[in-house]
Structures are given as C-alpha cells and as structure tokens.
Chains A and B, each alone.
Chain A
Amino acid sequence: MASRVLAALASDEFLVSLGTVSSAEALRRHLQQSEFVKAVGEALTSGEVSEERVRQFVSDLMRSFKPGEQFFYDPALAALAVVMRRRYTPFADEFLLDLARVGRIVEFPFSPRVAQLCRLEWGARHPRVKKKTKTYNEAALRALRHAKFSYRVVLVSSRRLKRTGTIKREASYATS
C-alpha cells in the first residue's frame, strides 16, 4: 500500500489523466484536487508512508534524469510539492526549497514553479522569520567604543530601549 500510492504518481494512468498542461499554476490547481495526490497526503499523515520513503522514491526517480532531456517524472515531483505544502516538517521545507531552487531548466518544465508557489503558501502558514537582537548596558557600550578591536560597531538606538542601544555588528573587519 505504502509504495503503491507513491508508485501511482509515476504511473501512466496519472500522467495521462493530466491531459494537456498549460502552466505550472494550472497544474498546481489540478493537483490540489487530484485523488492521486490526496492518497499520498493521507498515507503520510497516517504514517503508512514515511518521509524517508518519499526521499527514497524521489531518489529513484532522479536516476532517470538526463541533462538535455525533459524529465518524464516532472509531474510526479510537482504532485509531491503539492502534498508537502500542507506538511509543516523540516523534510517538507527541504523538499519545497530544494525543488524551487532548481529554477527554470528545460528538463523540469513545471515542478520548480509549482514548488515555488507551494512554498509561498507553506511560508504564509508557517512563518520562519526570527528576529535576533542583542542588548548591551551603558558600561558595556563604553567599553566597546574604546576597544582596540579591529571590527567596526554601529550603534543603532531603539525606541523601545531607552538606556541601552542595540548594537549591530557589521560583517566587515577593519584592517589595521
């Protein structure tokens, strides 16, 4: 059962059912309603299929990748991207990011763009942005100003912090 739902994405039945695909956006719309895709999503949720199994499945498909030839299983990768858009796991994040990063190549006409669209949806529901600030008291600030270190400090005052400022360390290092 586990490998059957994944194998179905690589079957002629699934690929023929797509008919003529006009664009990545249209393909994504169809895949969101596809029974093949829903079956994979349910199997992942119930645990019948593991993410490691999906990784292995993708690895097996990618063995047939040949530069200069359209990848036959591009719709299968697009289908998995649609499955991953509702899974908030590191694997789903990795899958969508890695596939979106492939960009525009003739071998993958649709799946990178589908992954990009799914990743936007994924990110909207699962924000990843974290703000980090470091605060220093007055004494520390004075010490840093007089320091003989060779790196540059930029003091940015924050409205929220009256006495202390937020220091942003710049990446560049001044040479002596």
Chain B
Amino acid sequence: MLITGIKSKPVYAPLRADVGGRYHLMLGLGSGGLALLRVLAELKESAPEALENTRLLFAEAAISRGAVNAPAAVAPGAAEPPIAGIAGAAGMIEQFEQLGLGSVNRFDDAASLLDAFRTILNESLMGTRLYVAGPESFIGLAMKIALEFDLNKDEIRTEEMGTLARRVYCVHCRATTEEVRTNIVRCAKCERWLLVRDHYSRRLAAYMGVMVDAEAPCELPPSKEIYL
C-alpha cells in the first residue's frame, strides 16, 4: 500500500565539516549532539581557527509540543510521551564548552532553540554553514526556517540521530499531527484515519497523510509501529 521510492523523502548523510564556510552554525537535539561532537573534532583537526567562528545551540530534550501550533497527537491532559533523553546528554554541554567555540547555548526544548535560531539567522552573513543533527522532525523544522532565509543545500548539512517519529500533515483538514510512530494514524484534528506516506514537504516540514479508509469506511489495514 505504501508507495516507496518517493523522491521527496529526505536523505541524510553523516555530518562533515565544510571548511569553505566562514561561520559555522550548529543545531543539536538529544543524541544529535554526538554528531556535532564528531564534526567539531573534524573542524578542530582541519581548520582549528574555525572553532571561534562557530555558534552552537543545543537542547537535550526531544521536540516539545510548543514547537508547533497545530494540534498535538495526544489528547489534552494526557501524559506527554517520554522525553527522548539519552545517557550522556548532560555531559555534552561540558564537552562543547571545552572546545573554545564562539558560543554555546543550551535550551530547555526544541521550540526555544528554534526561536533563537531564527533570531541568529536574521543577523547572519553570507558564508555561514548550517549543521543540524537530531530527530528527523527537528531537522525538518530547522530546514523550514532555513528555507525562509534562502539557505540551500550547499549551505546546510543534516544528520538524522534519534527518533524517526514523523510530523504528518493531513491533506484533508491541513492540521499537523506530531510524533507519529505508526504507518496508520488518526488525524489529531479531523480524526480521519490517515496513511502516512513517504511524500515529504519541505515547506511544511511534514509527511503527507492521506485518508486510508475513504473507499471502504472503517476498513483499516493493520497499523504497524515503524517510525521508531
């Protein structure tokens, strides 16, 4: 049922330092910090002077509900899913700070990190390279902001670390459902059952969800937890 090989599905590669840039801006969420540590080690090796032109924004927590204004996947009042914290995340900030970067900022959640990111882009100059590491939905939200500033693929590197949970855009009511881990999901707003497609929108930072039982109401294929 799921069409594979859809070209819009983002492809990620391990982060590599781009010494062609004059300024480096790094965003990390959760275990994404490990990828940033790796690229920082590479930068230290190949262009140590670049470290002082590097700004790093990091949050240990997973994406917060506040990161989007669309309805949440969980019912109001329900417990939030467990935060995707990882062992050693707390020590990451200390490791970043030891590298002598231009600045290191720690945030409580992805939403406040992304707000600060937008402010920084407003005053950033041509020659900036962006590195984003974390769960796919975090990368998507960061890319959505970067796109507003006309940053393109030559200037951005992304590495997926952490959960594959998707943001799913309901093509019927246009609401976005967060943290979707199953191939079939109920839209958080219109409550239609949606098939989660690989068809991805960079503008919306979400995968498309299409009503799965439109032709045979209530006949749902088995739901599988596949975006872990």
Do A and B actually bind?
no
